[in-house]
Chains A and B, each alone.
Chain A
Amino acid sequence: MDDLYIKKVLNGDTEGFRYFITNYKDLAFTVAISIVKDEFWAEEVVQESFIKVFRNLKSFKGRSSFITWFYRIVINEAFQRIRNEKKEHFYTDNFFDQEPTEESFVGLSAEEQIALVQESLKRLSPKESLVLRLFYLEEQDAKTVSEETGWSESNIRVILHRGRKNMLAIVEQLMQNEYKAT
């Protein structure tokens, strides 16, 4: 389906580009917010990425899938954004000694679970939250993540391992501090 719309847009049907925006805006936003951690910045990253896709659609040769190519653009744009802002972020790191709490997590309401997970991901480093999302939410393998990010597969496995441990620790910490009473 992507190929069909790529051809349409290249043949001058600009309205055909809406297909990509409709189908990929949420995915792009999820990836962007993993890195920039701010809704407004993420929106700008997604906008800039779609414009880049439109500008460079002719140069897309189909060597990888469209979505891999698109992810690469969004990821580069998001990292570029945080580099440009030069803001120092302090992310939670190294809580390896804390235990996961599956039972208490399941006991939370759906809204609480969503808020907890999203807050935890916000506190992870951009690389860790991005890799966790691509790996578990998009169910991509290390090779695909490597194609999209440009990082080596072994590096991705290390980030994934650290991300998993930190994520569980942050969830545990947040539950102790904020959700215990509920």
Chain B
Amino acid sequence: MENLKKEDRFIKDMMRHSAFKMPFEDFEDRMMDKIYEEKQQKTSVQKSTRIAWVFFFLGLFFGLLITSLTSTMDYQLIGIPLKKLAYLLQIGIALVLLFQLDWLLNLTLRKKD
């Protein structure tokens, strides 16, 4: 028991010499530069996300406009009535919008975390 205490004290004395100091003098300034870069990047991601939402809603608006217009038009395109092509267009636009919505929601929620 006594030996164990002695050993413990000896290790404790030795370990006082085990502390390191950051050997790179300019570390603090370099680190702060990186932090400012990180902040700037964060701000630019936020800005881009906002712009992405604006374009998403613009796409949604024009997508709805185009699909509703094509379904009312009485034209034919290479022999196929435009009303039939409108279904394909609607499915395409809906898929694009869904993928975009999923991507934007992920981006926005990850940013908030």
A: which residues have CB within 8 A of B? 14-15, 17-18, 21-22, 25-26, 29-30, 33, 39, 42-43, 46-47, 50-51, 54-55, 59, 100, 102, 105, 113-114, 116-118, 121, 132-133, 136-137, 164, 167-168, 171
Contacts and interface: CB of A to CB of B under 8 A. Distances in A.
Q: Looking at chain A's contact residues, is the secondary structure mostly helix, strand, loop, or mixed?
A: helix
B24 A30 contact: no
Contact of A22 (B8, B12, B18, B28): B28
Given A17-B35, A21-B28, A50-B31, 7 more contacts: A18-B32, A26-B21, A43-B24, A51-B34, A100-B7, A118-B20, A133-B15
Given A26-B20, A33-B20, A133-B18, A102 B10 contact: yes
Interface of B: 6-8, 10-12, 14-24, 27-28, 30-32, 34-36, 38-39, 42, 113
A25 B22 contact: yes
A29 B38 contact: no
A137 B39 CA distance: 34
Nearest to A164: B11
Given A136-B11, A167-B11, A168-B11, A118 B31 contact: no
8 contacts: A26-B20, A42-B20, A43-B27, A50-B31, A55-B38, A113-B14, A167-B14, A168-B10
B31 A117 contact: no
A15 B111 CA distance: 22
